[in-house]
Amino acid sequence: MENRNLMIWIVAIVCFFVLMFVTPSIPQDQDYHNFADQRQFLGIPNTLNVISNIPFFIIGVIGLVLCYYKNFFKLSLKGELCGWTFFYIGVAAVGFGSSYYHLKPNDATLVWDRLPMTIAFTSIIAIFIIERIDERKGTYSIIPLLLVGVVSILYWRFFDDLRPYAIVQFVPCIAIPVMAIMLPPMYTHSTYWLWAAGFYLLAKVEEAADDTIYNWTYHIVSGHTLKHLCAAMVPVFLTLMLAKRDVLPERVSLLQVWKISWTKYKQNGVTTENETITYTSVPYEESRV
């Protein structure tokens, strides 16, 4: 097991350096700061893009409080509390960092938008390792993963190269849904991870369609504003999951559950098709008057 884990880390590191050598650097596109909705209300520049970050702060604070309120989330593994604490700190900080960035969008302020998001992303990866792979290794991975996220931001800022940050941001987008499906969970309500991933994917689509959505809605709301609201649903679903879940008596992956359900569905379908209805003939005797 130790040798296999070591090989996985070696392969991952080698792949990262190969990717860095064979791909060109990705500078920050300055058009990224040119959002569709630049309206100002009550003296606040880019008002809707600023205030749409408030949900992040609210859910971040709520989650942080519930982490420490009489163990409301019933966290039972070593390192879970630390991982979820960093996650909710990152979420709450997004409320400030993203608002600060949208007041005056540029590379310097963008750092404070991306940094808390990176903290949240890397914390989630550590939490998955704790819950579904190895409790001790997951706990030890929290700080290294956070440092990797911070270094990716610093690398972009000093070298104007987004490649490390892109890996830190998009690898969790792929890894988390895959792990949620393939790896047996310790707790119930594991499908909430997929709901969270779905809303994050929707948020990325809305971000890409910023101008298009702004025109479709007749300049009522932009895609980037909707992106903030959908992305805020990610911690909402994860908080609901934490509040509802219980420890599973038997660990079965979602993939196995789906396979069993599909097998039962097919069997029931075949049974229904092959069912024959038998009628019993009752002799009729005409009554005599």
Binding residue numbers for Zn(2+) = 102
Specify the long-range contacts of residues 172-178, CB closer than 8 Å, at least 24 apart: 172/121, 172/122, 172/124, 172/125, 173/197, 173/200, 173/201, 173/204, 175/125, 175/128, 176/124, 176/125, 176/128
Q: Are 49 and 33 in contact (CB under 8 A)?
A: no
Q: Which one, of 222, 220, 216, lies nearest residue 203 by Cα?
A: 222
Contacts of 252 by beta carbon, 8 Å cutoff, 6+ apart: 184
- Give Cβ neighbours of residue 115 (< 8 Å, ≥ 6 apart): 93, 97, 150, 153
Q: Which two tokens stand for residue 85?
A: 């604490």
- Annotated binding-site members: 102
